[in-house]
């Protein structure tokens, strides 16, 4: 079972790169951000904002998420919320859940359960995968990019364009979310042992190739260590 952990802020390309890496390796894929969004959607739909009540909502929810990189689907209590969790309202209120540590702990355990149940491997992306969810993963990567590039990419993704109005709205959204999330997770600088992949000046294909190269290197190192252990034995 191989875990590839990828963290990073919005607009670095981690979701699209993670999905493609999973496809090429025949691995599963887990978007942990979608899990937080789904629980935020649940709380918002029920008018829940108190921390204690948020935790109870998370604990009581039946959350199902696809690990097929070609299937975008997430269900909450049997309701398909795949599209709803991408709404501006959910995007700006994810911290209703992510800022509550007990709720985070519940979701982290769910994520670890999904990881453990997915063979032969899984690519997991989010903001605390390399440091909290799977700190022992053989491949840990922090994807970064210049803020201007991140904003332009996300504006184009959200609106189909990158005009001045779209850029301004996206800049406020990204800056606000990064500021809030950085209070609970460290995803702007790499921890020890975590590879930094700057996607500012490289293409999507080059980003995928870079991740695959790190995976290959890790697998080669593991194989060499195994052979050395056999020789010593």
Domains of the chain, residue spans:
2-209
Residue 10 annotated in ligand binding: yes
Q: How far is CA 19 from the centre of its chain?
A: 11
User: pTM surpassing 0.95?
Assistant: no
* Greater pLDDT, 197 or 231: 197
Residue 98 annotated in ligand binding: no
- Kindly report the average pLDDT of the chain as a whole number: 90
Banded model confidence at residue 181, pLDDT cuts 50, 70, 90:
low
Residue 156 annotated in ligand binding: no
Banded model confidence at residue 213, pLDDT cuts 50, 70, 90:
very high
Residue 180 annotated in ligand binding: no
Residues 6+ positions from 32 with CB-CB distance below 8 Å: 107, 111, 124, 125, 126, 127, 129, 133
Q: Does the pLDDT of residue 59 top 90, yes or no? A: yes
Residue 78 annotated in ligand binding: no
Residue 134 annotated in ligand binding: no
The fold of 2-209 is Rossmann fold (3.40.50)
Residue 60 annotated in ligand binding: no
Residue 161 annotated in ligand binding: no
């Amino acid at each position: 079972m191989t875990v590839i952990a990828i963290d990073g802020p919005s607009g670095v390309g981690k979701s699209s790169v993670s999905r493609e890496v999973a496809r090429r390796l025949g691995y599963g894929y887990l978007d942990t951000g979608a899990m937080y969004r789904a629980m935020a959607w649940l709380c918002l739909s029920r008018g829940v904002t108190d921390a204690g009540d948020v935790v109870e909502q998370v604990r009581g929810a039946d959350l199902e998420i696809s690990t097929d990189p070609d299937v975008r689907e997430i269900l909450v209590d049997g309701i398909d919320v795949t599209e709803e969790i991408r709404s501006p309202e959910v995007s700006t209120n994810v911290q209703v859940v992510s800022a509550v540590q007990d709720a985070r702990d519940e979701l982290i355990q769910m994520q670890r359960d999904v990881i453990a149940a997915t063979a032969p491997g899984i690519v997991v992306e989010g903001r605390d995968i390399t440091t909290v969810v799977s700190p022992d993963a053989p491949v840990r990567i922090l994807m970064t990019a210049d803020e201007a590039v991140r904003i332009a990419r996300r504006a184009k993704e959200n609106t189909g364009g990158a005009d001045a109005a779209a850029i301004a709205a996206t800049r406020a959204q990204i800056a606000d979310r990064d500021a809030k999330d950085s209070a609970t997770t460290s995803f702007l600088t790499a921890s020890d042992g975590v590879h930094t992949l700057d996607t500012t000046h490289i293409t999507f294909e080059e980003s995928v190739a870079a991740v695959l190269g790190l995976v290959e290197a890790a697998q080669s190192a593991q194989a060499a260590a195994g052979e050395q252990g056999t020789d010593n034995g």
